[in-house]
A and B are shown apart, each in its own frame.
Chain A
Amino acid sequence: MRGYELCLIFQHETNEDSIDQKVEALRGKAEAIGGKVMKVEKWGKRSLKFAIKKQQKGYYCFVSLTGNNKTLHEIERIFKYDESVLRYSYIRLEEAQVEAINKTLEPSASTDATTEAPKATPEDTAQETKDEPAATAETGDPAETAAAENPEASDIEI
Chain B
Amino acid sequence: MKRPARKRRPVYQKQKICRFCSDSSLQIEYKDYATLRHFVTERGKIIPRRISGCCAKHQRELTRAIKRARSIAIIPFTVTSA
Q: Which residues of A contact B (CB under 8 A)?
A: 7, 9, 48-50, 52, 58, 60, 62, 87, 89, 91, 127-128, 131-132, 135, 139, 141-144, 146-147, 151, 153-155
Q: Is the CB of A139 within 8 A of B22?
A: yes
Q: Is the CB of B38 within 8 A of A144?
A: yes
In the assembled complex, 9 residue pairs joining A and B whose CB atoms fall closer than 8 Å, in A order, are A9-B72, A49-B75, A58-B73, A89-B68, A131-B34, A132-B34, A139-B19, A139-B22, A154-B48
Q: Is the CB of A141 within 8 A of B38?
A: yes
Q: Which residues of B contact A131 (CB under 8 A)?
A: 34
Q: Which residues of B23-70 have CB atoms within 8 Å of chain A's CB atoms?
A: 23, 30-31, 33-34, 38, 41-43, 45, 47-48, 51-54, 68
Q: Which residues of A contact B42 (CB under 8 A)?
A: 151, 155
When A49-B75, A147-B52 are in contact, do A142 and B38 touch as well, CB less than 8 Å? no
Measured CB to CB, the closest approach of chain B to A42, in angstroms, equals 13
Q: Is the CB of B51 within 8 A of A147?
A: yes
Q: Nearest residue in A to B26 (C-beta to C-beta)?
A: A135
Tell me if B14 counts as interface (CB < 8 A to partner A): yes
Q: Which residues of A contact B51 (CB under 8 A)?
A: 143, 146-147, 153-154
Q: Which residues of A contact B45 (CB under 8 A)?
A: 154-155
* A155–B51 CA distance with the chains assembled, in angstroms: 11
Identify A143's interface contact among B22, B31, B33, B52, CB under 8 A: B52
Q: Is the CB of A142 within 8 A of B16?
A: yes
Q: Is the CB of B73 within 8 A of A50?
A: yes
Q: Nearest residue in B to A131 (C-beta to C-beta)?
A: B34
* A141–B21 CA distance with the chains assembled, in angstroms: 13
Encoded as 1 (CB less than 8 Å from any A CB) or 0, chain B from 71 to 82 comes to 111111100000
Q: Is the CB of A143 within 8 A of B47?
A: yes
* A91–B69 CA distance with the chains assembled, in angstroms: 11
Q: Which residues of A contact B52 (CB under 8 A)?
A: 143-144, 147
Q: Which residues of A contact B16 (CB under 8 A)?
A: 142-143
Q: Which residues of B contact A127 (CB under 8 A)?
A: 34
* A89–B72 CA distance with the chains assembled, in angstroms: 8
* A9–B31 CA distance with the chains assembled, in angstroms: 13
Residue in B30, B34, B71 with the greatest tally of chain A CB atoms within 10 Å:
B34
Measured CB to CB, the closest approach of chain A to B30, in angstroms, equals 7
